[in-house]
Amino acid sequence: MFSKLKSLREYFRVFLADNRLLFAGIRQRRGAKAKEYLLRRNIHRLEKGLRNPECRIPFGQAYAGQTERDFETYRSQLPPAIADWGDHVLAEYRQRHANPELPVEAPADVAIPLDAPDYASLRAAFAQRTSCRHFIAPAPAGDAIAEILHDTRHIPTSCNREAYRILIVETPEKRNWLLANSIGLTNFTGVEHCTVLAFVADLAAVNHPRDRHVPVMDCSFASLLFALAAQSRGLATCYLNWPIRPNTDRQSRVLLNLPATQKIVFCLLVGHQNPALSSGKSPKSGRICKV
């Protein structure tokens, strides 16, 4: 009875902490970061309209004017690729509204049909991915990891908001704290030889509670694409569970200098697999069904 009450109390603590985070994000709507997310969402909505061959001009009038104004205000704070994207989309939107007869054109930088990757290699890579719990020196350099992360940034994210951050945790104090506070490190060897990544969800991107899962999904996609790419560069990975513990999450924000709307979802270890040791190959069922 006592343990049931204890777990119920823990359940509510987690529930409340998670909701506080969510509502901090929603309250921050006026904040610069939340504005940036909304701006990106609206640019994306305009772009989708422009690419629709059946699109009727005019469209998007409820938010296009605000998007233009926000873009002017926040353009200098946007990453360059996003600022360029905004320039193109808004210019095309203006042009098509000035001249509705202009044909819908695919942007020149998108290959149609898509260049198909070599499926046999992809399939082999999928089948070979496995969690590594035994690492050997040397730990991969942060710059090498950053390069792979940059190459794998092309993930789908809801309305192209990219509601996630990836921290390459290099400072020993931060790294040790993260490892000490994740609870899944038993049966590992050579952890000192791996690089630690923390995947962080940003709830400032969520403008409705129903979409709270979006930043977490972004972290999942980004990490898995990275894990596969790292494997093709001879590196092995293992996810580390990061449980929702309100106090630890609060401490992580202080230590990693995260705003109130951001939370760690999981860590990923990356390094060189010790060839003498393995954690085995977990069979997969696939869980596929036709309905």
List contacts with ligand FMN (CB under 6 A). Answer: 130-131, 133, 184, 238-241, 266, 282
**How many C-beta neighbours within 10 Å does residue 239 have?**
19
- Per-residue 3-state assignment (H helix, E strand, C coil) for 177-203: HHHHHCCCCCCCECHHHCEEEEEEEEH
Residue least distant from ligand FMN (Cβ): 184
Q: Judged by CB, which is closer to ligand FMN: 73, or 241?
A: 241
Give the DSSP H or E segment for 45.
helix 32-51
The least CB distance from residue 183 to ligand FMN, in Å, is 7
CB nearer ligand FMN, residue 19 or residue 241: 241
CB of 273 to ligand FMN, least distance (A): 11
Helices 214-232 and 119-128: angle between axes, nearest 10 degrees: 100
Which CB sits closer to ligand FMN, 113 or 286?
286
What is the closest distance, in whole angstroms, from the C-beta atom of residue 96 to ligand FMN in the complex? 43
Residues 89-94: contacts with CB within 8 Å, 24+ apart? 89/43, 89/46, 89/47, 89/50, 90/43, 90/46, 92/50, 93/46, 93/50, 93/60, 93/64
Whether residue 211 contacts residue 201, with contact meaning beta carbons closer than 8 Å, is answered with no
The single-letter code of the amino acid at 243 is P
Nearer to ligand FMN, 91 or 127 (CB): 127
Q: How far is the CB of 146 from ligand FMN (least distance, A)?
A: 22
Tell me the closest approach of the beta carbon of residue 263 to ligand FMN, in angstroms: 14
Cα separation, 172 vs 176, in Å, equals 6
**Choice between 57 and 185, CB closer to ligand FMN:** 185
- Cβ closest to ligand FMN, residue 133 vs residue 165: 133
CB nearer to ligand FMN: give 97 or 212: 212
List of long-range contacts for 179-182, beta carbons under 8 Å, 24+ apart: 179/240, 179/267, 181/242, 181/248, 181/251, 181/252, 182/240, 182/241, 182/242, 182/267
Min separation Cβ 213 and ligand FMN, Å? 14
Question: Closest separation between CB of residue 194 and ligand FMN, Å?
Answer: 12
